[in-house]
A = this chain, B = another copy of it.
Amino acid sequence: MSAPVELIDVTPRDGLQNEATVLSPTARAELVRRIIATGARRIEAVSFVRDDLVPAMAGAEEVLAGIGPHVGVTIAGLVLNARGMQRAADAGVDEVNFVIPATDAFAQANQNSSVAGLMTELGAAARVAADAAIPLTVTIAVAFGCPFAGVVPPDAVARIAKHVTGSFGVAELALADTIGVATPWQVRETFHAVAAETTVPLRAHFHDTRRTALANVFAALGEGVQRFDASLAGLGGCPFAPGAAGNVAMEDLAWMLDRAELKHGISVSAALEAGRAVAAQLGVAPRSAIAGAGPFPR
């Protein structure tokens, strides 16, 4: 396994969206610049959702304007529907990530729609993306477990994956363990089932809620997945999973990959420093293991 691993930094989006402290668009643009300095070349920086519903994500356009020139770096924005996609296109984001949950119950809670309804939205969004020549990725949320519907079977995810990637010109498909319940066996089985239905590159988005995130990364790598979302200081969370810890911490993941001599381009020490800085801005302690224990060897 010598090909490079791509680590996508989702701190400014997933990392911030569920925190009590709201950072200004200026502070979020500054955060993106700090993240670029850690070595990240792909960053999910904004979310085109309603400002009144998710105040922490308000002002996506201002964040993008504040980032400024970013040669060689892809700035992605998350969207939940066709309207968000239009905003993303107008704002000139480099890449759009459309979320479609694996279960109707989560689709209803998160996006006030059904999975079928979101497929229609995705079709409309895909046309906007194509017209604007913006690469479109799709993330299947709660792909391993749903707080309302329970465990999600691999074949259910594979069916959605087949539909999504077969119909809408999608550049990449992510499976998200939104509430942090996946096990490495399930990760292996689900990515295997999905890979049988599509040829688009796959990405994994793991939360470390139950300490399985690094195990899940290891299992996904074993299935040929080489793209992983991560968040500085393990920030992040899901509003529908109370008590849930955040995304897998960038510094933990980068450290583990370093020890395995798998190249990924992120500096652990820079990620640690950036993670401490953003955690301090939010008034929380860093949630990464490496922030507490330090790297090894030192």
Contacts and interface: CB of A to CB of B under 8 A. Distances in A.
Nearest to A297: B150
Contacts of A217: 215
A186 interface: yes
A282 to B, nearest CB: 19
Contacts of A183: 256, 259-260
B209 A289 contact: yes
Interface string A205-235: 0001111111101110000000000000000
Contact of A185 (B209, B219, B252, B260): B260
A249 B290 CA distance: 18
Contact of A211 (B211, B244, B260, B297): B211
A256 B294 contact: no
Interface string A154-184: 0000000000000000000000000111011
A256 B241 CA distance: 18
A255 interface: yes
20 contacts: A151-B297, A181-B259, A181-B296, A183-B256, A183-B260, A185-B218, A185-B260, A186-B260, A208-B211, A208-B289, A209-B289, A209-B293, A210-B252, A211-B252, A212-B256, A214-B214, A218-B218, A243-B293, A244-B293, A245-B292
Given A208-B289, A210-B293, 5 more contacts: A151-B296, A184-B215, A185-B218, A210-B290, A215-B217
Interface of A: 145, 150-151, 179-181, 183-186, 208-215, 217-219, 241, 243-245, 249, 252, 255-256, 259-260, 289-290, 292-294, 296-297
